[in-house]
Amino acid sequence: MTSGAYAKLDTDARIAIIGSGFSGLAAAIALKKKGINNFVIFEQEAGLGGTWWNNRYPGAEVDLESHIYSFSFERYDWTRTHASWAELLTYLNHVARKWGLISHLRFNEKVEAVTWSDERKEYAIATSSKADHGAFRAVISAVGFLNIPLLPPFARRESDFKGVQCHTSRWPKGLSMAGKRVGILGTGSSAVQVIHEAALEAASVKIFQKEANWILPKDSRDFTASERFMHKFAPIYWWKRFWLYYGYDTRQFRASHARKDGRVNKRRAAASLAYLQNSLADRPDLLKLATPDFPFEARRTVISDTYYDDLKNPKVELVPYGAAKLSAAGIIDEGGHEHPLDIIIYATGFDAANYLAGMKVAGEHGIDLHEKWAGEPEALLGLMVPGFPNFFMMYGPNTNAIPLVTFYQAQANFCASLISTMLKTRRRTIKVDAAAFRRFNQKIQAALAKTVWGSTTSYFQASTGKIVAQWPHSATEYILATKAARKNAVKIE
């Protein structure tokens, strides 16, 4: 990587960030820390927050502990071990205000195209408003990959159903389940949360299950007053965060959590099976239906304290079929049975493997990023692709791992450091080395082949079966890899 004699930043160069969730704010703050203030954050929604702006369904909360699912540089007075969507949204707004990011935000601006100019060495951005946003020296995409709701084919067409339909990530304002007959499609992480709320207030709940999932207890609760008082002391707060990080890091070392012969995988699989059997020992009918038929961790493991108890609630019925189609009255399942319903909730996840869906990205010589990927997204550390200079991705291909915010910060530091060097040295392009890109993806796929993630279909995979979402190592290994890549796999010219 080239170093130069200039120390002062090129302040005329503008940077674009797409998305204002955790990763977008991480990128913006990393730029600020480098003294880069000439940037714009494009946000397609009416407010910041990303996932936590959209996912407002009843019971929505994070699966990771609040102290680790937050920025390492921003302590907060968390009220729960696992924060709700509302508390996370409040936190993100607090962070944005504290770091002076509000003035950089452009709301209701969905980015539709990012186009590189070979002559000018800069990007043009087209948004839904059709406004002229000027040129940008670099672009950081922070749109994530769990943002395009995935609906069953019959839900994408007009139907005669008279009730309310919604995806969990598009919950209608004011929608109440009280006294209603509610049908829920799915048994994943979002499903179990909304199922619990429905079991509390709905007249009846029907869960349409295609396949059961492995579940572990969450141990989610409110912090006591004394705990919140102690968390005000920085050493105690950071110690708590460190031990959470250490636990996740050691768990994922050499993919021990995702290899069938891994010590961590075996231990957690046994714990999950025991939780299932102990919880449903008095209901052999439910035990049979709730037992998965794929290896532990092959799909996202569900974390819940309530799901098995909810299954035993007299108001709740676990339907052992997926939904086949809609009728005027409700749902007809794959067994041919009709279920009258007032509300249908699609907890059916996202089109996760389709990275940067809905956005056209054109690089050198007009090459299209989606055409280059040909349905199998890949990047160097999820961050950069040859042929697309000065274009970075947060939470890109093969970077889905925990703790998520730690990965966002490492990615943000990678982007900001390279952009800062480019602006200080008055260079024009940041490019990833094609050979380094190939070597990395060969190694990552070799590591992924040793895991259980390819043993069943899931959102971890492209339609071809290639694992395009997961990172098979620990967070510390990822952080070190980003530091090495800045020196050895990227050129600034």
pLDDT in tens, 197-237: 999 999 999 999 999 999 999 999 999 999 999 999 999 99
Residue 2: pLDDT band by 50, 70, 90 thresholds?
very low
CA distances from 307 to 110, 199, 284 (A): 36, 10, 16
Cα dihedral 366, 369, 373, 379, rounded to 10, equals 120
264 vs 251: CA distance, rounded Å: 6
In this structure, what are the phi and psi dihedrals at residue 388, rounded to the nearest 5 degrees? Answer: -130, 75
pLDDT in tens, 40-98: 999 999 999 999 999 999 999 999 999 999 999 999 999 999 999 999 999 999 999 99
pLDDT in tens, 405-426: 999 999 999 999 999 999 999 9
Q: Is pLDDT of 313 > 60?
A: yes
DSSP string across 400-438: B-SSHHHHHHHHHHHHHHHHHHHHHTT---EEE-HHHHH
Q: Is pLDDT of 259 > 90?
A: yes
Region 26-38 average pLDDT: 98
Cα dihedral 12, 484, 378, 190, rounded to 10, equals -90
Reported residue count of the chain is 493
Q: Nearest-CA neighbor of 83 among 206, 277, 220?
A: 220
pLDDT in tens, 435-458: 999 999 999 999 999 999 999 999
Of all helices (H) and strands (E), which one includes residue 183?
A: strand 181-185
CA distances from 233 to 69, 83, 90, 172, 237 (A): 19, 20, 21, 40, 6
Q: Which domains, ranges and CATH numbers included, belong to the chain? A: 15-148+352-492 (3.50.50.60), 153-223+228-346 (3.50.50.60)
Instruction: Give the model's pLDDT for residue 10.
Output: 85
Region 258-269 average pLDDT: 97
The residues that bridge with 123 in the sheet, in sequence order, are: 116, 136
Q: Tell me the helix, strand and coil percentages in the chain, rounded to 5.
A: 35, 20, 45
258 vs 265: CA distance, rounded Å: 6
Instruction: Give the model's pLDDT for residue 6.
Output: 57
Q: Structure tokens of 368?
A: 């299209």
- Mean pLDDT for the chain overall: 96
449 vs 398: CA distance, rounded Å: 13
Note whether 423 and 10 are within 8 A (CB): yes
* Cβ count near 222 (within 10 Å): 11
Instruction: Give the model's pLDDT for residue 145.
Output: 87
CA distances from 408 to 20, 26, 224, 405 (A): 12, 6, 30, 5
Q: Is pLDDT of 276 > 60?
A: yes
Note whether 486 and 433 are within 8 A (CB): no
Of all helices (H) and strands (E), which one includes residue 227?
A: helix 225-230
Residue 3: pLDDT band by 50, 70, 90 thresholds?
very low
Neighbouring residues of 226: CB distance < 8 A, sequence distance ≥ 6: none
Neighbouring residues of 229: CB distance < 8 A, sequence distance ≥ 6: none
Region 356-384 average pLDDT: 97
Q: Is 54 exposed, middle or buried (0-12, 13-18, 19+ CB in 10 A)?
A: buried
Q: Is pLDDT of 5 > 60?
A: no
The residues that bridge with 319 in the sheet, in sequence order, are: 208
Angle at 413 between CA 411 and CA 419, to 5 degrees: 105
Region 93-113 average pLDDT: 98
210 vs 165: CA distance, rounded Å: 19
pTM of the entire structure? 0.96
Strands (E), 215-312: 215-216, 302-303
Residue 372: pLDDT band by 50, 70, 90 thresholds?
very high
Note whether 198 and 184 are within 8 A (CB): yes
CA distances from 346 to 95, 172, 186, 301, 461 (A): 32, 13, 7, 19, 21
Region 462-488 average pLDDT: 97
Instruction: Give the model's pLDDT for residue 4.
Output: 46
255 vs 382: CA distance, rounded Å: 18
Instruction: Give the model's pLDDT for residue 7.
Output: 66
Instruction: Give the model's pLDDT for residue 9.
Output: 85
